């Protein structure tokens, strides 16, 4: 049964087209039912993220025209407008595409981890709506397996490619588990806020916010369920906090070497991670020389992110190889599976002929001992197996569905199968 994917993504369509086609979770059931109601469609799933909207279907025939028509209707635009942006994939290309998408290889930021969850959610929604047939179910399971394998074997999503995530990655390299740590956020700069937000997702114990404007500090602290502190009184917090994020507009150093020396003296073997996201810098660079203090400024973090981006590109090459191997293996499995009913029927038919003819022959020959009878049984069975060998092989190896269908019809005709 043909597999077909029709859709648009961030490379083929601008955001105004994607947003018109996107499907909100609340509309998913209705959308899937509409798609499934198109003629010839057996199973259907819709993948809708901010970067792509795709209809993935298994169908009895080529149903591309109705799907494009359906997309046009959804977008509320001219068909020619949609046709400019849409891509159409068939059979093995659908598998490769899905494996790549779920592994993050087709994402705007290569290797980003969220897409795996989005693909899973899309298929689970289809399963819940009852629009997932057995073929799409298998494709879904295999897609998730391949995505997991790619991520485990290559580690493609392990390294951060943005400055705030690079800070989180470094914090994990220093502290391991971020659970229970305390963070001091100095200033209300956007990057600092974003970094604190990412860190807070890892179970921090407390975020202290200090700002020149105490009201703004209170406002920000409430957002993180943290505590506002007076900007002039930050020094005691250097001794208790594990991560310090500086993001103020101050034209001078806010944290100096002697502050850190005094703080570390009371910390007893606990490290201090300082993140300076400001220009001009707010944390004295000499602090990086102090044992137990790790200072990263905005350029350092950008270098980490850039190096990670390059690393992901290297890993992507390995990942593509894994995807190619998996597509090949899965296609073979599907083809073999598709041929099974015909093969079983063919074997049954020839076995019936063999058994009937053998019986007639044995009646003519007359009495014989068990050994002689076994020899004749073996001879006839081997002959049947030899005759079946090539037809079965051809059925299992025909890659194109059209070729496979022709072959199946021919074999059925030749051997007189129902």
- Count of residues that bind another protein according to CB under 8 A: 25
Q: What is the DSSP letter of 109?
A: S
Which is closer to another protein, CB of 172 or CB of 354?
172
Q: Are 146 and 103 in contact (CB under 8 A)?
A: yes
CA atoms within 13 A on the CB side of 299: 4
Could you tell me the smallest distance in angstroms from the CB atom of residue 103 to another protein? 15
Site string for another protein, 207-246 (x = CB under 8 A): ----------------------------------------
Q: Which stretch binds another protein (CB under 8 A): 9-17, 50-58, 298-306, 340-348?
A: 298-306
Q: Could you say which residues in the range 97-156 bind another protein, by CB under 8 A?
A: 152-155
Residues between 307 and 326 that touch another protein (CB under 8 A) = 307, 318
List strands edge to edge, sheet with 87-90. 41-48, 52-59, 3-9, 87-90
Residue with smaller CB distance to another protein, 84 or 173: 173
First to last CA, the chain: 20
By CB under 8 A, is residue 179 in contact with another protein?
Answer: no
Q: Which of 87, 202, 214, 294 binds another protein (CB under 8 A)?
A: 294
DSSP label of 112: -
Q: Does 12 bind another protein (CB under 8 A)?
A: no
- Least distance from C-beta 179 to another protein, angstroms? 12
Interacting residues with another protein between 26 and 45 (CB under 8 A) = none
Per-residue x/- marks for another protein, 259-288, CB under 8 A? ---------xx-x----------------x
**Angle, CA 295 vertex, CA 283 and CA 180 arms, to 5°:** 105
Query: Cβ of residue 64: shortest distance to another protein, in angstroms?
Result: 39
**Nearer to another protein among residue 158 and residue 397 (C-beta):** 158
Q: Binding residue for another protein (CB under 8 A) from 25, 76, 80, 176?
A: 176
Q: CB nearer to another protein: give 269 or 418.
A: 269
Query: Cα(45)–Cα(54) distance, rounded to whole angstroms?
Result: 8
Residue closer to another protein by CB (options 149, 396) is: 149
Q: How far is the CB of 289 from another protein (least distance, A)?
A: 8
Asked if residue 14 lies in contact with residue 146, where contact means CB atoms within 8 angstroms, the answer is: no
Q: Among this protein's residues, is 241 annotated catalytic?
A: no
Instruction: Confirm or reject binding of residue 80 to another protein (CB under 8 A).
Output: no
Tell me: does residue 166 bind another protein (CB under 8 A).
no
Closest C-alpha to 130, from 43, 4, 259, 13: 43
Please tell me which residue in 50, 129, 241, 278 is annotated as part of the active site: 50
Residue 126 vs 154, nearer CB to another protein:
154
Contacts of 384 (CB under 8 A, 6+ apart): 350, 351, 353, 354
Edge-first strand listing for the sheet containing 243-246: 227-230, 206-211, 182-186, 243-246, 272-276, 293-297
By three-state DSSP, how is residue 171 classified?
Answer: helix
Peptide bond into 324 cis (omega under 30): no
Characterize 264-300 residue by residue with b for buried, 16 or more Cβ atoms within 10 angstroms of its Cβ, and e for exposed. beebeeeebbbbbbbeebbbbeebbebeebbbbbbeb
CB of 97 to another protein, least distance (A): 25
Would you please indicate which residues are annotated as catalytic (active-site) residues? 50
Q: Which residues bind another protein (CB under 8 A)?
A: 152-155, 158, 170, 172-177, 268-269, 271, 288, 291-292, 294, 296, 300, 303-304, 307, 318
């Amino acid at each position: 049964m043909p597999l077909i994917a029709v859709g648009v993504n961030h490379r083929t369509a601008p955001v105004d087209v994607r947003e018109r086609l996107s499907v909100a979770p609340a509309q998913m059931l209705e959308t899937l039912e509409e798609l499934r109601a198109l003629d010839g469609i057996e199973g259907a799933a819709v993948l809708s993220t901010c970067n792509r909207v795709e209809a993935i279907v298994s169908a009895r025939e080529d149903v591309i025209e109705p799907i494009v028509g359906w997309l046009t209707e959804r977008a509320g635009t001219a068909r020619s407008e949609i046709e400019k942006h849409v891509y159409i994939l068939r059979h093995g290309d659908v598998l490769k595409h899905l494996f790549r998408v779920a592994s993050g290889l087709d994402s705007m930021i290569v290797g980003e981890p969220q897409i795996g969850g989005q693909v899973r959610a899309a298929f689970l929604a289809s399963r819940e709506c009852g629009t997932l047939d057995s073929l799409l179910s298998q494709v879904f399971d295999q897609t998730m397996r391949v995505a997991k394998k790619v991520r485990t074997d290559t580690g493609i999503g392990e390294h951060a490619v943005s400055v705030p995530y690079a800070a989180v990655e470094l914090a994990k390299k220093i502290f391991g588990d971020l659970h229970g740590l305390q963070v001091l956020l100095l200033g209300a700069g956007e990057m600092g806020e974003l970094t604190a937000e990412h860190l807070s997702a890892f179970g921090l114990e407390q975020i202290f916010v200090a700002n020149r404007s105490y009201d703004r500090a209170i406002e920000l602290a409430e957002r993180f369920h943290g505590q506002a502190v007076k900007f002039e009184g930050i020094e005691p917090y250097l001794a208790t906090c594990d991560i310090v994020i500086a993001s103020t507009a101050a034209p001078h150093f806010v944290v100096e070497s002697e502050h850190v020396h005094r703080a570390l003296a009371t910390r007893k073997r606990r490290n201090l991670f300082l993140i300076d996201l400001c220009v001009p810098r707010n944390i004295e660079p000499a602090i990086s020389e102090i044992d137990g203090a790790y200072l990263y400024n905005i350029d350092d973090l950008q270098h980490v992110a850039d190096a990670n981006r390059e690393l992901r590109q290297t890993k992507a090459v390995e990942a593509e190889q894994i995807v190619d191997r998996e597509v090949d293996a899965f296609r073979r499995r599907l083809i073999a599976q598709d041929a099974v009913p015909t093969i079983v029927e063919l074997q049954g038919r020839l076995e019936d002929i063999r058994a009937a003819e053998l019986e007639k022959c044995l009646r003519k020959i007359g009495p014989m001992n068990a050994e002689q009878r076994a020899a004749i049984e073996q001879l006839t069975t081997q002959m049947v197996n030899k005759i079946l060998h090539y037809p079965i092989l051809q059925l299992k190896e025909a890659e194109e569905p059209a070729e496979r269908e022709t072959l199946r019809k021919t074999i059925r005709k030749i051997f007189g199968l129902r």
